[in-house]
Structure 1
Amino acid sequence: MEKPACILVATDLSAHAGRAETRAAMLAQSMGAGKLVLLHVVPRLPLEAFTNILERTPLETEQRLLDAARAALEERAKRLGTQYAITTETAVRIGRAHLGIAEEADARDAGLVVVGGYGADLVRELFLGATAEKVLRRSLRPVLIVKQEPAAAYRRLLVPVDFSPSSTRALDWAQAVSRGAEVTVAHIYEAPYESTLRYASVENRVLEAYQAAARRQAQETMRGLLEPRRAAGTDFLQRMLHGHPAAGIRELAEEMRPDLIVMGKHGQSELEELLLGSVTKHVLFETHCDMLVAPER
């Protein structure tokens, strides 16, 4: 995979956002990215509120907030650039955060978008940052959601695959960010129409034979997926579980305690803009580690 020319990290300038900023800088350094861009989006609602409170004109209020954001960003960018020996830039936009992030990512053709899993507004973002989820739902670019304090490079990765083209892209990203880490590739399978057959009271021995055939097919497909990469010098651990994908990934995450889960994302559709894929959403909300979601292209 080519080195990303630009990594974009979105920050709300809170203490929690420092996790995403630091992780993005670490990846910019390890991946040899051309530059790291720190972005802050000033929301319009607080801007209107501050205008009333401070008794200033909208233009004056806007300028004060933009100046403060630029100063804070420049300070953080300078510190990260010096600490990690990387090129940094800053950007400020006004509007809805997830839309501003998408627009800036497109404008700079960002190879990776990094956002924090938690933000400053704990009422609006009770569990996972609302902005992070919206970015992930709509984005056609790889998105990394940072939930943990980045104490070191990623050391243990979990890569769930369904053998689609997006799984291949997920493996590309896992290899790009792992740098010698332990990478476990997992497939959670169910035989087609298995639940229907079970409700139809099909005998257990028939179901077991059906499941065994599905497992053999999955193992063969897994070999075909990984053998070319192993031949090129990359090794992987493998896991194969029977059950529902979301539950299986959660079980593996609890057992393995990975630093990062890397998943593929299927092609964008109108429905996906409204509803994040069920498996991805479950993993996002039910695991505590960082998560990178890579689209097919």
Structure 2
Amino acid sequence: MDQAPGSRQDDAHNGLPVCYRHPDRETGIRCTRCERPICPECMVSASVGFQCPACVRDGSGTGHAPDASQPRTLAGGTIAADPHLVTKILVGLNLALFVVQQAVGDSFTERFELIGRAVMPDLGFGVLQGVAEGQWYRLLTSMFLHLTYIHILFNMLSLWWIGGPLEQALGRARYLALYLVSGLAGSALTYLITEPNAASLGASGAIYGLFGAFVVLVRRQRYDMRPVLALLAINLLFTFRWAGIAWQAHIGGLAAGLVIGAVMIYAPRERRALIQYGTCALVLVAVLVITLLRTAQLT
């Protein structure tokens, strides 16, 4: 239950205040508007300090000037009325394209899946339908295609469970950047390592990127890391033990997600947006370099 503005809850043993919303959690942080103590779960990042959920909801806090700094997410993003909107759109887009795949058939999938260079073994020459021949769009479009009902079911459940909390913590723009750049990193590593004529598709690279960022978020909020690490270990076990899985996309996406997630969540407030989006740009440069090197090998 909320306390009156400015009230204090001091721990009897060491004098540390406890969160006004979670009395079992000690904290040294106070809301910059109402000055009530708040724990990491209740902290909403602002341009200066942190605010509590009550002050974020009413926009002006409790008795403070309405022109105070605009409340921000943990990563500095704008707080949205629907914090899961982008996740819903991504799920809907993946499901819609899967319906198109089922309706149109292989011709649609083969036009947009990831393939380096389709080689005709009997004839010994390449067919102009791969990334190496200039169809770079496949690095992106393959992220939204799926092979089977089980494939899309597991990916969309993972996207919903992990994506929602991440979008709320990062904000829409940062979350979408994380998703797309991680997915492209997974596609680039797949293009680099796999056989040129091996087709690949699926949102797993992007979702593993979200997984990497989610690990960073859990660490930042000081929650128990063991369940998250155990789930990640199980997923990686399936990645390497289950035939037919493009582990390259998983590892590429995970690596990008860890890097981008760490920068998104731990970037200093001074020039925070520049650092965050600059890191995304650097990862995209790495994707570009990998793609150019692999294309040079295949042409």
Tell me the TM-score normalized by structure 2: 0.24
Kindly name which structure, 1 or 2, has the bigger radius of gyration based on alpha carbons.
2
Of the two structures, which has the highest relative contact order with CA contacts closer than 8 Å and spacing of 6 or more? 1
Relative to its length, the structure with more helix (as a share) is 2
Relative to its length, the structure with more strand (as a share) is 1
